[in-house]
Amino acid sequence: MAITPVENIKQRLSIIDVVSSYVVLQKAGKSFKGKSPFVSERTPSFFVSPDRGMYYCFSTGKGGDIFSFIQEMEGVDFKGALKILAERAGVELTAVDPRSRDDKEKLLSLLEDATRYFVVEMGKKEAISAYLVERGLRKETIEKWRIGYAPAGWRNLKEHLLKKGYTEDFIFRSGLLKKTNDGSKNSYDVFRDRIMFPIADSSGRVVGFSGRIVTQDPGAPKYVNSPETELFVKSQVLFGYDHAKSGIRTFDFSLVVEGQFDLVLSHQAGYTNTVALSGTALSLSHVEILQRLSNKVVLALDADRAGIASAKRLSEVMLKRGMDVKVARIMGGKDPADLVREDQKLLKQAVGGSVHVVEFLLNVLRDEVADDRTFKLRVREEVLPFIALMPNKIDQEHFARIVGERLGVTEESVRHEISRVNERAPVDQKSIPKDVQAEIKVRIPRRREEDLVSHLYGILLWQQGEESPVLDEKVLYKNLELVLGHDSMQSLVDWGEDTKNEAIFKTEALYAEVGESLKKEVASMLHELYVVELRRRLAQARERLRESERSLDTALQERELALCSSINETLKEIILKNPFEKVFTEQ
């Protein structure tokens, strides 16, 4: 069997060769380590295993092989990563016979043909070209962004694509056709009499469109976007990202705007780091896409109330991820496109004068509210929640001080109010006996349950493969099964080889140099995981107890009450004393 291009590339390029082009690596046992390329950090948490051909970042949880690494760093899909690595490895990628292309490639070809059709139609409409120039777009900008025009007829594009050999069903799958509402099988073009902006994936391939209406029609939406398709997933595509990747790295921040004209005119003005929401809600995937290129973002949205509300929504998602979020305040009811059209220096001034979202909201509220007490109350309700979202305590302290100065109150009072923001009312437990409620509140380390399971099972697999294991893997297996239960343990045993290899790599990177301390760490993790499991079982038993009370089934109530008491007693006992310490320290 002939070797595949992927296998050929992996034979010619080691993961150390690839990663070291982006990250300074140092030897760490069997692996190499360095600072994460995905987030800013002081202590290295990024590990690379040359033996396994894998990398893993403990700060972000991202990991994989050379192809996934290039996808992350260059913002491309697998095909794009394949091209980059093939060129570097000197591997020639042979062209695929068009007749054997899969559906995805055919859909991409269809959307490319549609894009070309819209561009050609634009050339026939001098009035549309004149309108774009009037909006401030230069000819080269129109050509760069491949802006086109969808004719006013109901089936112009459909007929064009049918002549190109595409089936009607296939055109439906691209999102360019709709069915009529009369129950028949008739269909019509989604985009009619609209200026067309192609929306591309990270590799620059068209996956959808945004169409702006030309004719004034109060009953028609100003913009229509392609529906979600197998290629166009709105939560994963940012308009303009394919053009902005390099600019985001160069400027070290993303400029986020609202609309299509805002985007293309911002790029025209020199802000080649601009992306647009284009009518879609910002998703966690969008934030992750931007954050892997830069942790900084400037929001340049409309100056109206809707724009301010949008800035709040976007900031909430980004602040949770630890991003540095600033807002460019554009006055006079204008948007970025208006500024560039008037004088592109105005956009530069607005972006240059951007302030952190906390300070932006303080300024907005101060302009809206004259009364000092009302201002303070509004700040408590509308600004402090954003500070509470910040995972960095130093940032919280910084902005608590700023808010205190602006309000004329002590920093301590601001911190106190921040601490109350996310307080939640306790679950109603009035019907549960006090002895069942009285769980001992002793602080133990809090790590994610899935991390504890992955680390413990990874240690088990790792120790099974060592000639001189630090601990008895059979004892670890027995105790991990005790904590998780037989079924959950079996699901770990059924992991695929790739998943097992990844777990081994992570644990090697974390624990290869701890020696005998591994026993103590394993005992600590088992203890923590057991507490988590028992608390879950107790919560489930308490819920069943409430349900039994509502059902008036006395026998069931007694059984559930006994179970609650039993679990709670076990929980109290193991919280006070780790039962696993003796098991492993005496090995």
3-state secondary structure of 165: coil
Question: What pLDDT band is residue 142 in, cutting at 50, 70 and 90?
Answer: very high
pLDDT tens, position by position, 330-342: 887 788 999 999 9
> What secondary structure does DSSP assign to 573-586, as a single string?
HHHHS-THHHHHHT
Is residue 440 predicted with pLDDT exceeding 50? no
**Mean predicted confidence (pLDDT) in 516-538:** 84
> How far is the C-alpha of 279 from the C-alpha of 310, rounded, in Å?
11
pLDDT tens, position by position, 274-305: 999 876 778 877 888 888 778 899 999 876 77
Q: According to the model, what pLDDT value does residue 422 have?
A: 59
| DSSP at 222 | S
> What secondary structure does DSSP assign to 70-136, as a single string?
HHHHHT--HHHHHHHHHHHHT---PPPPGGG--HHHHHHHHHHHHHHHHHHHHHT-HHHHHHHHHTT
Pairing outcome for strands 187-189 and 177-179: antiparallel
Is residue 515 predicted with pLDDT exceeding 90? no
State pTM to two decimals: 0.61
Q: According to the model, what pLDDT value does residue 445 have?
A: 47
**Mean predicted confidence (pLDDT) in 115-135:** 94
Domains 100-232 and 241-353 share a fold: no
Judge: domain 100-232, CATH 3.90.980.10: yes
Q: According to the model, what pLDDT value does residue 376 have?
A: 92
Question: What pLDDT band is residue 95 in, cutting at 50, 70 and 90?
Answer: low
Half-sphere exposure of 564 (CA within 13 A, CB side): 25
Q: According to the model, what pLDDT value does residue 3 have?
A: 63
**Mean predicted confidence (pLDDT) in 109-114:** 95
Fold of 361-421: Pheromone ER-1 (1.20.50)
Which CATH number is associated with domain 5-89? 3.90.580.10
> How far is the C-alpha of 20 from the C-alpha of 35, rounded, in Å?
11
pLDDT top residue among 361 and 574: 361
The pLDDT mean for the chain works out to 85
Fold of 241-353: Dna Topoisomerase Vi A Subunit; Chain: A, domain 2 (3.40.1360)
pLDDT tens, position by position, 208-225: 999 999 887 777 888 999
The domains of the chain are located at 5-89, 100-232, 241-353, 361-421, 434-585
**Mean predicted confidence (pLDDT) in 108-130:** 94
> How far is the C-alpha of 432 from the C-alpha of 383, rounded, in Å?
38
Contact (Cβ atoms closer than 8 angstroms) between residue 480 and residue 456: yes
Q: According to the model, what pLDDT value does residue 585 have?
A: 66
Q: According to the model, what pLDDT value does residue 269 have?
A: 95
Dihedral of the alpha carbons of 246, 250, 254, 260, in degrees to the nearest 10: -50
